[in-house]
A and B are shown apart, each in its own frame.
Chain A
Amino acid sequence: MKKIFRIFNCLSVSALIVGFGGLLFCISCGKQDSDKERQKVIRLPMLTKIQTLDCGNLTDVYSISIASQIFEPLYDYHYLKRPYEIVPLTAEGMPEISEDHLVYTIRIKKGIYFQDDPCFPEGKGRELKADDFVYAIKRIANIKFVSQRWVDWNGRVVGLDEFREFTKSFDKELDVDYSVEVEGLKALNDYTLQLKLVKPWPQLQWNLATVVTSPVAREAVEYYDKEIMYHPVGTGPYKLKIWQQGFFIELERNEKWRTEVYPSEGEPADLEQGYLADAGKPIPFADRAVYRVIEEFQPAWLMFLRGELDVMQVFKDNFSQAVDPATLTATAEMKDRGIRLIIYDDPSIFWVGFNMQDPTLGKNPPLRKAISRAINRQAAVDLFFNGIHKIAYGYLPPGLEEYDPSIVHTDYSKYDPDEARLLLREAEAIHGSSIPSLTMAIPGTGNLDRQMGQFMQKYLADVGLDLKIEYMDWPTYLDELNKGKLQMFFSGASPSIPDSLDMLLAFCSWNWGYGGNHFFYSNPEFDALFRKAEVMFPSPQRTAICRKLERIMLEDYPAAFINHRVAITIVHDWYRNAKPSAFSYNTLKYRSVDPDKRNAYKDLLKELKKKKK
């Protein structure tokens, strides 16, 4: 008994000592300096956790933005030139396309090697072959791999759909016999790839520039099996060093990467903004890149201010601190710290969608129009996006070739509560009685989602409509959206390739539900015109058809379109070559940091503090 008491007494005393001592210790050892500080390390925030680094199954931009540094597809977007221009990456020149636009022949650069990895004999990466591309695409077609990217290839390549059918007879992904030949997807020799299409596919060139179609080493897939998503083996300038799911990812430079140089021509403004200062120098610049997963804006912003992150998005609540609204430049406080802003159009569109099969909304065009008239888009942009985002007058976002500048003069997105009330009267006549309360689904249960919901409720209540909001988590939302169970829904999209037809696909009647038409919208005129445009290559004629398609759809009010995003990135002085790009993600190799400037930042902060006093 006494013994236990003594032991316990010792324990409590030692716990006390350990507790306080530990605290003192950790405060004192906070300033750990080392040689590492000389290394060029890029520190970036990541808003959500990374799902996968398996390049055949990438869907979200966050995963893509990391995988793009490790894998390399055939083509790439030019880093500086706008409008976006396709340039070869692992391909030797642009594809040779047959007269009928059905056969593509692509030559691959010699002397490209995979990164070193234990999956290769002796751990040495082997040379890239045309077969690796064939394998990558067949793998996406393999149903046992359950790739989310099959939709891109469905019904496109001769014989590929039959191959997908064939894979059904196997049990596991790795059992599938890849030696079965696919007519439209062949390696003619080690460095030549041939694609045969079912019908012309104008968007193929863009698809060959997304990281999803990057070559995959079969050895890696077989070696890592289920864990391939944690062991990306690519040909890119960086390789994965550490990935702690949900917390941080560290990439390090691939020492074996071939020699490439920073581009020396770009837009006229690039010279002035310093994007050409490194022209002709060998890339990549940074030795390592650390991505921190920080889901909350607040800590990310605080870390940025303390210089622990190089880049940060400006969001609703740090806007006033970061941006001077009159000039749209950094505030004086930020300028003192050497922080600058980068503002650019990020092609995207957000909307409140209507379910066209809903008994109340679907058969009542005046009601949909009334809802659209009731929403004050300017107020939404002011309140949630600090007046920076652009009001969406139509559907196609600015930045795309097919964006129609004259759409600003239409009244599809007009805010007019009086007209809305009149329209409601009309809608009630059609409905037969007063309009029952409506339900809108918002994906997300966070603070901003709630505020958005309350905003919508307020404006609909102003014209006499009762709105209920259901805040759903993403899985529930997705499920009900695809099954057409939602009456109204808040949603958005941004084009993954610079092509409008891809976006207009969301209104085709054959794409209901799972295909992406969540409005369950159907208009024979729209469908027929879309079929016509589908096989056309970029031309003024095609652009005209796209704009026509947009107008046809807008007349039916399947959604109230709200805003287009304008992204504001805020970067530290030491972060260089941060030219934004809406479509290409493999930009880490061009980015650079100045470690001396970064190390001096802490002293700068102290100085500023003194000055204040």
Chain B
Amino acid sequence: MITYILRRLLYTIPIVIGVLLLTFFLFTVVGGDISQQIAGKNADAQTIAEIRHEYGFDKPLFWSLDSQFLDHFKKALTFNFGRALDREKISEKILRGVGPSLSLTAPMFFGTLAISISLSLLVAFARGTWLDVTVVVLCVAGMSIPYLSFIIFGQYFFAYKIGAFPIMYMPEQSMTYSLALPILIGIAAGLGANLRFYRTVMLDEMRSDYVRTAFAKGLSTPKVLFKHVLKNAMIPIITNVVLVIPFLVLGSFLLERFFGIPGLGSLMIEAFASRDYFIINAMTFIFALLICFFTVLTDICYALVDPRIQFE
């Protein structure tokens, strides 16, 4: 077991290196020098040269002991990401964003999960009937509406026309009050895809031989559903849940942007808008690590839940 985990962890090393190589290529080799932007509108050449020096844009890309390439790796591997363009420490910025992002996405995710699993069981129970067909068509319809339209209409009607919620995040008010509307919109927008996914999962299980056997044995439908189907559907569900966790941390950049929530999604959009590649580098690296970690965790969960999977 331990050797299995260790081997899985070792396997992530080349992936992390790959991510670092890619971010270096994208943001340093191609993205490059942004000293002009830092210097501002009327800066003279001298000032720009000074800024290039300060941010290290004048260092050689590769073949040197203090090349930007080595610097890139050193920064990531020591978790010392330095300062953003606005000179605030990047680690502080990221840590500050995790809270609001999670308070938005975690209730959103678990809300969607709870509703869609309960509904999917119901639908699987009534498969083939008009209820099933209606729910499926509604799901697909929900998936077909652009996310942006959900947000714009939601904000306009529920916050402004009806006035039940604040229009934007209120730093002075309680978090729950501010976040209720974005969470509701997020659930509404994500429900279609999730419900359809879990319905397929349930139906896949219902087609398997053991279910046929259980029915043949004369077990009642609810019993089959809850005892057999849901239990076996756990594998795809758990995979889904665990793999989604890193993305919960990343937040929902559209919702955060529209409601002015100071989370990581907003931070990322802002970093892209101001070309702050230092922040993007750091965030990409941290997320890659998180995703790697949770992928390993999923594999372990798999092995725990499904006795057919052996630790090689």
Contact = CB atoms under 8 A, between A and B. Distances in A.
A and B touching (Cβ–Cβ under 8 A)? yes
Interface of A: 1, 4-5, 8, 12-13, 15-16, 18-20, 22-23, 25-27, 29-30, 32, 49, 51-52, 59, 143-144, 146, 148, 150-151, 154, 226-227, 229-230, 244-248, 290, 292-294, 296, 299, 302-303, 305-306, 308, 473-475, 478-479, 482, 514-516
B46 A148 contact: no
B167 A4 contact: no
Interface string B139-178: 0000000000000000100011001111111111110110
B273 interface: yes
Contacts, number: 159
Interface size class of B (residues with CB under 8 A): 35 or more
Contacts of B107: 18-19, 22
A146 B85 CA distance: 14
A143 B42 CA distance: 15
B270 A246 contact: yes
A146 B51 contact: yes
A412 B81 CA distance: 54
A59 B270 contact: no
Contacts of A5: 230-231, 234
Given A1-B305, A25-B176, A479 B36 contact: yes
Given A30-B165, A32-B177, A144-B50, 20 more contacts: A5-B234, A8-B234, A18-B110, A19-B114, A26-B177, A29-B177, A30-B173, A150-B44, A150-B47, A229-B86, A230-B88, A244-B96, A245-B88, A246-B262, A248-B171, A290-B172, A299-B260, A302-B160, A478-B40, A515-B44
Contacts of A52: 86
Nearest to B266: A246
Contacts of B164: 27
B115 interface: yes
A140 B166 CA distance: 43
Given A1-B305, A5-B231, A146-B51, A59 B41 contact: yes
B179 interface: yes
B188 to A, nearest CB: 12
A373 B281 CA distance: 48
B1 interface: no
Contacts of A479: 36-37
Given A4-B234, A16-B118, A478 B260 contact: no
Nearest to B301: A4
Contact of B171 (A26, A144, A244): A244
Contacts of A148: 39-43, 47
B176 A143 contact: no
A292 B166 CA distance: 14
A13 B113 CA distance: 10
B72 interface: no
A292 B169 CA distance: 10
Nearest to B261: A247
B23 to A, nearest CB: 19
Nearest to A57: B40
B78 to A, nearest CB: 19
Centre residue among B42, B51, B83, B171 by max chain A CB count within 10 A:
B42
A151 B40 CA distance: 12
Contacts of A29: 174, 176-177
Contacts of A246: 262, 266-267, 270
B87 A478 contact: no
Interface in B5-36: 34, 36
Interface in B209-241: 230-231, 234, 237-238
B111 interface: yes
Contacts of A143: 46-47, 50
Interface string B294-310: 00000000001101000
B312 interface: no
B174 A247 contact: no
A13 B47 CA distance: 60
B50 A146 contact: yes
Interface in B246-289: 258, 260, 262, 266-267, 270, 273-275
B260 A146 contact: no
A32 B168 contact: no
Q: Which 6 A-B pairs have the closest CB atoms?
A: A26-B176, A475-B37, A15-B110, A19-B111, A16-B114, A148-B40
A30 B155 CA distance: 17
B174 A32 contact: yes
B180 interface: yes
B201 interface: no
Contacts of A151: 42-44
Contact of B167 (A27, A51, A302): A302
Centre residue among B45, B167, B266 by max chain A CB count within 10 A:
B167
A303 B170 CA distance: 11
Interface string B70-102: 000000000000010011100001001000000
Interface in B107-130: 107, 110-111, 113-115, 117-118
A306 B237 CA distance: 43
Nearest to A54: B87
Contacts of B184: 23
B156 to A, nearest CB: 8
Contacts of B50: 143-144, 146
Contacts of B172: 290
B201 to A, nearest CB: 14
Nearest to A481: B41
Nearest to A244: B262
Nearest to B155: A299
Contact of B45 (A306, A308, A514): A514
A372 B47 CA distance: 36
B275 A473 contact: yes
A148 B35 CA distance: 12
A585 B212 CA distance: 78
Contact of A22 (B88, B173, B176, B260): B176
A1 B307 CA distance: 9
Contact of B37 (A296, A299, A478): A478
Contact of B179 (A13, A20, A26): A26
Contacts of B234: 4-5, 8
B183 A146 contact: no
